[in-house]
Chain A
Amino acid sequence: MKLVLGLVIGMAFGAILQLGGASSYKKIMGSLLLKDLDVIKLILMSIAVGTVGIYALDLVDMANISIKPTYVVGITIAGLIFGVGFAVAGYCPGTCIVAAAEGKTDAVVTILGGLAGALIYALVYPAFKGLIEITNYGEVTFASAFGVNGIWVAIPFSAVLFLLMFKVLKDRY
């Protein structure tokens, strides 16, 4: 049953990314070149909706929240490496799956590169483990850091994102 649910949620995920243009090399590079921010705005919109929905569900204890640990140095280095890969490939680990399904063969190669990169990480993990241990603040959020319920941060955060999408970025890109 879980497997079928995974398939259905995944199909919706893939279709939304495809229909929204998030699996397009041109759209992704347009975002990184700051020429066409549609993909960034798509992500901001999903977060603006998602954050309020998740923490509203959490109020009635219906959200299976899963917070990743914050290790500042390791995550910063990881993000810098990921960003270079993002621009060089023109896809991310999810959008290359969708682009491959659209028949784009360079995206198939990005998946293969991804499998290689994950394997390289597994092989050098003992040497990099230290980066996960230093400056690790655990499963901390902007709500838990302030000691408030998530919804009280989610609502103003979502409002800021809507302002950003519809006022700040609106005419410029």
Chain B
Amino acid sequence: MQDQPVLSWKVAGLLLGLLLITATALVKPLGVSTQYVVTDAIVLHRAAPNATESNEYLSKYGERDDWGIGYGWMLVFGMFVGGGLSAFITKRFRQRENPSLPSMWREEFGSSSPRRMMHAFAGGALLLFGARLAGGCTSGHMISGISQLTIGSFIFGISIFASGIVTARLLYKRRLAL
């Protein structure tokens, strides 16, 4: 079990900062969460074109005949490719005993995969609902936004950690009591 990250937070943070500077110089700051909407819009435009066109929010992310893959979508696709490659090369691909269960989760909640999947799905839905309401996520608001000194991004960062810390403590009550 390869448990420890390859890079220290110092090196990874430095590289991420340099990447953010590079991206901002060449194109724009980093962002991820918009692409969930773009992906929804790409799929739905084919499945239900009229309903998609008439949805006020989705229609902001594409025009008739132009619901497609752009720079931002390729960036997120690249994250999948780059993350997969580095996991593979550093022998950290599929290292879990059960691919759906983090070991920390198993110690607290037992080895029920469906239960973990329910949390993973509900958590994902809350993440993107919040990110779309805020206009960005950990990358767009926190890393890119705070780096650009955006006041709303500081507010977003503080409220994420406020509710994240409370929720984590409620979930891991037993672990904390030990």
Listed in ascending order, the chain A residues whose CB lies under 8 Å from chain B are 2-27, 29, 32-34, 38-39, 41-51, 53-55, 57, 62-72, 74-107, 109-123, 125-126, 128, 131-132, 137, 139-143, 145, 150, 153-154, 157
Contacts and interface: CB of A to CB of B under 8 A. Distances in A.
A19 B5 contact: yes
B19 A13 contact: yes
A14 to B, nearest CB: 3
Interface of B: 3-30, 32-33, 36-37, 39-40, 44, 55-58, 69-87, 90, 92-96, 99-105, 116-117, 119-169, 171-172, 175-176
A130 B119 CA distance: 29
Contacts of B33: 93-94, 114, 118
Given A13-B75, A98-B80, A121-B128, A90 B102 contact: yes
A132 to B, nearest CB: 8
A98 to B, nearest CB: 3
Nearest to B176: A33
A46 to B, nearest CB: 4
Contact of B143 (A15, A20, A50, A63): A50
A19 B74 contact: no
B78 A10 contact: yes
A122 B160 contact: no
- Tell me what chain A mostly uses at the interface: helix, strand, loop, or mixed: helix
Most buried by A among B57, B78, B167: B78
A102 B17 CA distance: 23
Given A9-B27, A53-B18, A54-B21, A3 B71 contact: yes
A2 B149 contact: no
B81 A14 contact: yes
A65 B24 contact: yes
A105 B101 CA distance: 8
Contacts of A77: 133, 159
A42 B69 CA distance: 30
28 contacts: A3-B70, A5-B26, A6-B75, A16-B15, A16-B19, A25-B102, A54-B24, A63-B24, A80-B162, A80-B163, A82-B160, A82-B164, A84-B164, A85-B130, A87-B164, A88-B123, A89-B119, A93-B137, A94-B79, A98-B79, A101-B79, A105-B99, A106-B101, A110-B123, A113-B120, A113-B124, A128-B133, A131-B133
Given A9-B23, A97-B32, A110 B121 contact: yes
B33 to A, nearest CB: 5
A165 to B, nearest CB: 8
A131 B130 CA distance: 12
B25 to A, nearest CB: 5
B83 A101 contact: yes
B161 A83 contact: yes
Contact of B84 (A16, A34, A49, A102): A102
B76 A62 contact: no
A32 to B, nearest CB: 4
